[in-house]
């Protein structure tokens, strides 16, 4: 369904709360403004860009309480998680500043016939299309990288997080030169127009596979436009019989329920060695017990609401699957402490084996809700083959007491982020983040994204 010219979001945790009206933007005007601002910004020395963006950081810090409250109200994210997201936004500045100082102005290359440097040259206006589940953090990292590389940026948030990102944009708009950062509000039509605009020279998109593929197809003829995609995953946790089942279960429960399961790196399925399957399944059922729906503004809430009714409907449809056994039935709660909201309880499905799971629609569709499938295996080749065959490749975690087994199994997984005894949702800003296959092209976020924010230029001199 397309986004109307004007709309108001409902707060997912309190559907009686109607948020301020948002109006769709004129894409042509936004891109034109970014294009006009590009030459001056590209010519601004790196340290001056850093100084101006440092001022933006301090202004954001001053508004931290209001920003966190907006994230919670508009997306339903638990306040603890929203606070963590905002802390990551502030920390991201120093990470990207350090990356920029390393690559933008040039690194010396020795050993060749002439003295040489390799430096990063800006391309022009960049489009950053950000999702609702991390309304500030994910778009922010790419925005910083593009700006520090000398590009101007047009930021387009999900319409489900438009109010939150508008406040973020207002901070930058008052402190950066006109046109350096522009905001486009709207839905799929505005996103397609922005990404397809020939004046836009870079695109960073985080969202659905269908939308990502549509963008890639629309710009396929423009070989100079660089596209970065992060499209989600069907992430797996592998639990071997020598692992501590309680520790593994706590890790899985966390990675299923953080963000109400609305994370691209959430665990979708758990492959469990058959000899330890029942023990782990019981441990996971117990570990899920504390994750009851709660009002997102409360500090002790562990499971917030889903983003909207469409997400609830998708969860309900997934819970009706008949090709599995339901160890824990997911339920729609709808009302928590007198507040109407998009609240659901976690669900645990159980499949007979990897072949049965691979044949199920639950293995192919990203549910984006607190639902996980348990799949027993005898030989680790079975879940590895299934994981690779599904085509996603964002995150995978392996719980085993054997380092050699972790190395052996891990080396066979086609995945961008691999963990040993760590939940699949643990993705610190100190590391690159991205997936392969259906999950994207490997470099949309995390540390070092600035390498893709401009074009490398090799410079040699005879003197």
Give catalytic residues, as residue numbers. 230, 264
CB 41 within 8 A of CB 369: no
User: Rounded to an integer, what distance in angstroms lies between the CA atom of residue 433 and that of residue 417?
Assistant: 7
User: Rounded to an integer, what distance in angstroms lies between the CA atom of residue 66 and that of residue 165?
Assistant: 12
User: Rounded to an integer, what distance in angstroms lies between the CA atom of residue 48 and that of residue 55?
Assistant: 11
Cα-Cα-Cα-Cα torsion 38, 44, 50, 53, nearest 10 degrees, comes to -40
């Amino acid at each position: 369904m397309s986004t109307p010219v004007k709309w108001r979001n409902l707060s997912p945790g309190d559907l009686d709360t109607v948020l301020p009206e948002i109006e769709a933007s004129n894409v042509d005007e936004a891109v034109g403004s970014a294009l006009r601002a590009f030459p001056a910004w590209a010519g601004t020395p790196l340290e001056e860009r850093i100084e101006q963006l440092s001022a933006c950081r301090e202004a954001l810090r001053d508004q931290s309480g209001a920003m966190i409250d907006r994230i919670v109200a508009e997306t339903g994210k638990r306040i603890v998680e929203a606070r963590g997201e905002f802390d990551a936004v502030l920390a991201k500045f120093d990470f990207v500043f350090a990356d920029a100082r390393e690559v933008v102005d040039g690194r010396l290359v020795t050993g060749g016939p002439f003295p040489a440097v390799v430096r990063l040259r800006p391309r022009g206006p960049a489009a950053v299309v950000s999702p609702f589940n991390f309304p500030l953090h994910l778009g922010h990292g790419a925005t910083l990288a593009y700006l520090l590389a000398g590009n101007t940026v047009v930021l387009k948030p999900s319409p489900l997080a438009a109010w939150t990102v508008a406040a973020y944009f207002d901070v930058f708009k008052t402190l950066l030169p006109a046109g350096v950062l522009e905001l486009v509000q709207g839905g799929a039509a505005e996103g397609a127009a922005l990404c397809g605009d020939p004046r836009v020279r870079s695109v960073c998109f985080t969202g659905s596979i269908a939308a990502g593929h549509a963008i890639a197809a629309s710009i396929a003829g423009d070989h100079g436009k660089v596209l970065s995609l992060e499209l989600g995953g069907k992430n797996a946790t592998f639990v071997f019989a020598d692992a501590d089942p309680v520790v593994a279960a706590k890790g899985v429960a966390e990675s299923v329920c953080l963000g109400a399961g609305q994370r691209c790196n959430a665990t979708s399925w758990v492959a469990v060695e058959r000899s330890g399957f029942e023990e782990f399944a019981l441990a996971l059922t117990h570990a899920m017990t504390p994750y009851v729906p709660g009002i997102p503004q409360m500090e002790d809430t562990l499971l917030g609401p889903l983003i909207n009714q469409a997400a609830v409907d998708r969860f309900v449809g997934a819970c009706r699957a008949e090709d599995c056994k339901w160890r824990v039935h997911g339920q729609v709660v709808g009302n928590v402490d007198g507040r109407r909201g998009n609240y659901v309880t976690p669900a645990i499905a159980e499949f007979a084996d990897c072949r049965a799971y691979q044949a199920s629609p639950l293995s192919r569709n990203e549910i984006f809700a607190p639902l996980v499938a348990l799949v027993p295996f005898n030989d680790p080749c079975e879940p590895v083959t299934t994981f690779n065959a599904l085509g996603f490749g964002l995150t995978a975690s392996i719980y085993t007491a054997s380092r050699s087994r972790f190395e052996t199994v891990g080396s066979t997984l086609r995945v961008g982020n691999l963990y040993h005894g760590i939940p699949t949702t643990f993705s610190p800003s100190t590391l690159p983040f991205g997936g392969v296959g259906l999950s994207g092209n490997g470099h949309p976020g995390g540390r070092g994204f600035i390498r893709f924010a401009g074009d490398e230029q090799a410079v040699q001199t005879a003197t």
